């Protein structure tokens, strides 16, 4: 039976794994650090290292106030050398949110971080700007990952995002286990369903179970929600700690919302990517019905060319520099989803962003959305009627929007902020690195 803590409880474990008999943590590592320039870091690794170093000033500030902020001194981590095998560099949202945004805090706590993403920045630029995947960049990515793994034994711990070798069979995922190198594994979506639910029988046969051994041999798995945690538990994970996808609350301010009356537009907003914009089709009918009753505008951040929705639409490109300010111009934030296995693995980051800006939310009752979009912060909408009623209620009641928005902000501060999550992750990584094999 899976025993996973409710957020923000952080110290329960599953599958009976413990750091030691009395819970004590001891520094044991005296391994040499690999030389970043020669043994581990290629060009893309150096790009990520530069990103990390650019945050060092912020990290030192965090160290000064760490004991005061978190109410206890950080664990002794000065001997922990952490090889970070993220999927992407700073341009990849999943790696940025699940891995890279923690670098300043971990560096301030004394970790020696050795970042080495799988895909390079050049690969992502080609994918995002030209929808082109470079075969050569992919070959280089595999060689870079092999080179990092060869030197992994010199580190205290390896921090893996999702998998070691994308698109390769399970045998390749067993490298760290075969060499008895301790590692932590992180999941923020149901990446395993790309293979175990693939329409091709051959793909399902070759790759459908590729994650099982990787999960089973990890010292710690940090899934982003309960659906992912259940999957990991079913594959024999020894220690599971749910770690939600979070944001830096200091980057998001609660702004006064635009004036709204029966004759002015209610601004209903969505943030995402071109690939996830297809979910907006789920709210096409409710939006068009509301548009026949009052003025409205759909604000789309991060995607363009939304066909078939016959309401005024305002498009904005995504930028980390402008996203918080744009979300502040909304009256309501939405997250429609279809109810499928892939969607149940999502971590609800859109909702957290809206709530951080003090906006009420409306979401499909799928996966972690039911944990985040509680009645005190917004509405769950299972069908067109639910969506329309939620839009009507929120567009007509300023006090309701204000009350739900402030409650949402408080929820993010308490459970979905980097300020709360960083010390939890720091302690979990330290425990994983310093426990007996």
Going from the C-alpha of 323 to that of each of 27, 316, 319, 327, 375, the distances in angstroms are 41, 9, 6, 6, 25
Are residues 409 and 422 part of one domain?
A: no
> Which pair of structure tokens corresponds to residue 62?
């965090």
Identify the domain containing residue 283 by its residue range. Answer: 249-415
Would you say 133 and 123 are in contact if contact means Cβ atoms under 8 Å apart?
yes
What is the end-to-end Cα distance of the chain in Å, rounded?
A: 24
Asked, for residue 396, whether it belongs to a domain, the answer is yes
Would you say 394 and 360 are in contact if contact means Cβ atoms under 8 Å apart?
yes
CA torsion 233-235-239-240 (nearest 10°) is -40
Going from the C-alpha of 307 to that of each of 280, 339, 372, the distances in angstroms are 10, 22, 29
Q: What is the pTM of this model?
A: 0.81
Are residues 254 and 190 part of one domain?
A: no
pLDDT score for 271: 96
**Cα distance between residue 59 and residue 244, in whole Å:** 22
Asked, for residue 342, whether it belongs to a domain, the answer is yes
**Cα distance between residue 377 and residue 415, in whole Å:** 14
Helix (H, G, I), strand (E, B) or coil at 158: strand
pLDDT score for 133: 77
pLDDT score for 386: 98
pLDDT score for 126: 67
Are residues 267 and 163 part of one domain?
A: no
pLDDT score for 7: 36
**Cα distance between residue 335 and residue 361, in whole Å:** 8
Asked, for residue 204, whether it belongs to a domain, the answer is yes
Taking CA 33 as the corner, what is the angle to CA 29 and CA 34, rounded to the nearest 5 degrees? 140
pLDDT score for 214: 95
Are residues 291 and 215 part of one domain?
A: no
Are residues 426 and 319 part of one domain?
A: no
Helix (H, G, I), strand (E, B) or coil at 332: strand
Helix (H, G, I), strand (E, B) or coil at 46: helix
Are residues 221 and 74 part of one domain?
A: yes
The residue ranges of the chain whose pLDDT is under 70 are 1-78, 126, 128-131, 437
Q: Among 104, 132, 105, 100, which Cα is nearest to 116's?
A: 100
Are residues 353 and 342 part of one domain?
A: yes
Are residues 407 and 268 part of one domain?
A: yes
Are residues 130 and 41 part of one domain?
A: yes
Asked, for residue 19, whether it belongs to a domain, the answer is no
Q: Please count the structural domains in the chain.
A: 2
pLDDT score for 129: 66
Are residues 311 and 201 part of one domain?
A: no
Which residues, other chains included, contact 11 with Cβ-Cβ below 8 Å and sequence gap of 6+?
A: 5
Asked, for residue 29, whether it belongs to a domain, the answer is no
**Cα distance between residue 319 and residue 326, in whole Å:** 10
Asked, for residue 2, whether it belongs to a domain, the answer is no
Asked, for residue 227, whether it belongs to a domain, the answer is yes
pLDDT score for 413: 98
Asked, for residue 13, whether it belongs to a domain, the answer is no
- CATH code of the domain covering residue 363: 3.40.50.2000
**Cα distance between residue 266 and residue 404, in whole Å:** 16
Are residues 305 and 276 part of one domain?
A: yes
Are residues 258 and 232 part of one domain?
A: no
> Which pair of structure tokens corresponds to residue 417?
């902020």
């Amino acid at each position: 039976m899976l025993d996973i803590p409710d957020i923000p409880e952080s110290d329960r474990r599953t599958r009976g794994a413990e750091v030691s008999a009395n819970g004590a943590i001891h520094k044991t590592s005296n391994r040499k650090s690999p030389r970043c320039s020669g043994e581990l870091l290629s060009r893309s690794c150096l790009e990520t290292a530069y990103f990390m170093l650019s945050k060092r000033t912020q990290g030192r500030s965090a160290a000064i106030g760490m004991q005061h902020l978190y109410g206890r001194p950080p664990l002794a981590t000065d001997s922990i050398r952490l090889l970070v095998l993220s999927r992407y560099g700073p341009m990849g949202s999943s790696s940025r949110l699940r891995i890279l945004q923690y670098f300043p805090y971990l560096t301030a706590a004394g970790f020696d971080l050795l970042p080495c993403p799988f895909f390079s920045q050049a690969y992502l630029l080609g994918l995002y700007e030209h929808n082109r995947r470079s075969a050569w960049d992919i070959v280089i990515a595999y060689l870079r990952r092999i080179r990092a793994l060869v030197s992994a034994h010199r580190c205290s711990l390896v921090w893996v995002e999702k998998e070691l070798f994308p698109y390769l069979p399970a045998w390749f995922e067993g490298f760290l286990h075969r060499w008895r190198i301790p590692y932590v594994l992180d999941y923020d979506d149901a990446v395993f369903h790309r293979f175990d639910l693939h329409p091709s029988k051959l793909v399902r046969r070759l790759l459908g179970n590729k994650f099982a051994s990787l999960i089973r041999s990890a010292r710690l798995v940090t899934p982003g929600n309960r659906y992912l945690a259940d999957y990991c538990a079913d594959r024999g994970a020894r220690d599971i700690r749910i770690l939600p996808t979070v944001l830096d609350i200091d980057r998001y301010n609660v702004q006064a919302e635009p004036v709204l009356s029966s004759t002015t537009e209610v601004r209903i907003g969505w943030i995402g990517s071109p690939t996830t914009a297809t979910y907006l089709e789920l709210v096409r009918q409710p939006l068009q019905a509301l548009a026949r009753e009052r003025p409205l505008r759909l604000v789309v951040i991060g995607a363009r060319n939304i066909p078939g929705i016959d309401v005024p639409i305002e498009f904005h490109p995504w930028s980390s520099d402008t996203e918080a300010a744009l979300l502040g111009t909304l009256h309501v934030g939405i997250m429609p989803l279809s109810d499928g296995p892939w969607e149940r693995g999502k971590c609800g980051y859109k909702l957290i962003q809206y709530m951080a800006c003090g906006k009420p939310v409306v979401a499909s009752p799928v996966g972690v959305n039911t944990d985040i979009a509680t009645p005190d912060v917004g509405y769950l909408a299972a069908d067109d009627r639910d969506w329309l009623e939620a839009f009507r209620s929120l567009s007509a009641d300023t006090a309701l929007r204000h009350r739900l928005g402030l409650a949402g902000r408080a929820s993010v501060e308490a459970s979905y902020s980097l300020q709360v999550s960083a010390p939890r992750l720091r302690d979990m990584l330290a425990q994983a690195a310093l426990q007996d094999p």
